[in-house]
Amino acid sequence: MPSPASSETSMESGRDTESATVPGPILLLGAPGVGKGTQAKELVKLWNIPQISTGDLLRGNVARGTNLGKTAKEIMARGELVPDSLVDEMVAARLLEPDTARGYILDGFPRTLGQAHWLDGRLAAQIESLPVVAVSIQVNYNQLLRRITGRRNCPVCQTIYNVYMRPPQREGFCDVEGAELVQRADDTEEVFKERMRAYEALTRPVVEHYRVLGRFAEVDGDKPIAEIAAGIVSTVERLRKAA
């Protein structure tokens, strides 16, 4: 386990890279449990660019009662999936906002090959826009399984434990509240396997698309948070130079 000093050095390395690189659009990929959300937040701080999550966009449009949100709400009320075309429109509207000028972290989009082609075409039509680069955070399958199935939550203070990696002092009970810990219904091996199958099926064509274009790379996600973030920063810099 690297010392705090080495982690600080890694983050400083990331900041040095930041000053030399305009990040542009970055597609952050990762299987369930790799810490993609955590890394997205780190990159937002490092580069001062927004994270664009399709889930957040959908919820935001519904909450604000936009025309897109009303349409999406009606579709979901019928128990149907929101179509790619509607998600594309939400993303297009978000990319017009001024905070996206230097770049942004894409989370959950493009999820399909069709969405990837749509996004590439849209960015290509903008004279000053950089193309998307895709970075995938890689963690061993068994390690991911332990991260997911080992999670336990305190129902009172919401503290998250892991029976394998960060167990409570007293087995089955929260260190802070003393409440009995609970396991989420979807934190089981069966559900995890299904989520992994769905992830592979959806993202494989997207990964291959950007790999063929020379705009895809992988980083080791089994490291301290700061080191992973620094690795993503240096990977983006390398991909930008190659592009």
- Please report, for the chain, the start and end positions of each structural domain, with discontinuous segments joined by +: 4-139+200-242
Q: What is the pLDDT of residues 167-221, one digit of tens each?
A: 999 999 999 999 999 999 989 999 999 999 988 898 899 999 999 999 999 999 9
10 Å Cβ neighbour count for 48?
12
Q: What is the pLDDT of residues 4-57, one digit of tens each?
A: 444 444 444 444 434 457 899 999 999 988 989 899 999 999 999 999 998 899
Torsional class of 205: left (φ above 0), alpha (ψ -120 to 50), beta (otherwise): alpha
3-state secondary structure of 27: strand
pTM: 0.81
Q: What is the pLDDT of residues 117-173, one digit of tens each?
A: 999 999 998 877 899 999 999 999 999 999 999 999 999 999 999 999 999 999 999
Q: Which residues are catalytic?
A: 36, 111, 151, 184, 195
- The percent of residues above 90 in pLDDT, for the chain, comes to 74
Of 230, 34, 45, residue with least CA distance to 238: 230
CATH of domain 4-139+200-242: 3.40.50.300
Q: What is the pLDDT of residues 220-237, one digit of tens each?
A: 999 999 999 999 999 999
Q: What does the pLDDT read at residue 14?
A: 41
3-state secondary structure of 52: strand
Q: What does the pLDDT read at residue 233?
A: 95
Residue showing tokens 């090959």: 113
Quick one: CA dihedral 21, 219, 224, 33, positive or negative?
positive
Q: What is the pLDDT of residues 73-107, one digit of tens each?
A: 999 999 888 898 999 999 999 999 999 999 999 98
* Residues 217 and 239: beta-carbon distance below 8 Å: yes
